[in-house]
Amino acid sequence: MPELSIVAAELSQQAHFLRQELGYQSDHPGQLRQLMLENQRMIREIERTLRGSGEDLGLVGWVSVVRRSWIALVALLGAAFGYVMNDVVDALESPPAPAAAIQQMESG
């Protein structure tokens, strides 16, 4: 069994360490309190990102909007893609203009 003085010294060192971590030794906040404050700030920032602030939508709000209106968004994108493909196909299938028509347009 260890001597009582060794146990008392270890206990004193552990108490000193805990006081220092909790900020009881100085005017500055301890490491543990500082970590708690940083974690609270981080949690508030994550909450603001997810939920939004004021009238701004957060990530959860935008996911809800997209989930409710995805059919309309897909239809709009499909229509836009159809118009673009129609123009591309028309450009590829149209015959080249005759040289006489080009000269007439340039002189015109």
Q: Are residues 30 and 4 in the same domain?
A: yes
Q: Are residues 39 and 62 in the same domain?
A: no
- Assess if residue 10 is contained within a domain: yes
Distance CA 48, CA 71 (A): 28
Residue 72: the pLDDT is: 93
Q: Write the DSSP string, 47-71.
A: HHHHH-STTS--HHHHHHHHHHHHH
**Tens digit of pLDDT for each residue in 19-42?**
777 766 666 666 777 788 899 999
Residue 52: the pLDDT is: 87
**pTM higher than 0.85 for the full model?**
no
**Tens digit of pLDDT for each residue in 69-89?**
999 999 999 999 999 999 999
Domain, as residue range, for 91: 57-95
- Assess if residue 101 is contained within a domain: no
Q: Are residues 39 and 67 in the same domain?
A: no
CA angle, residues 103, 104, 106, in degrees to nearest 5: 65
Q: Are residues 25 and 7 in the same domain?
A: yes
Distance CA 87, CA 81 (A): 10
Q: Are residues 68 and 86 in the same domain?
A: yes
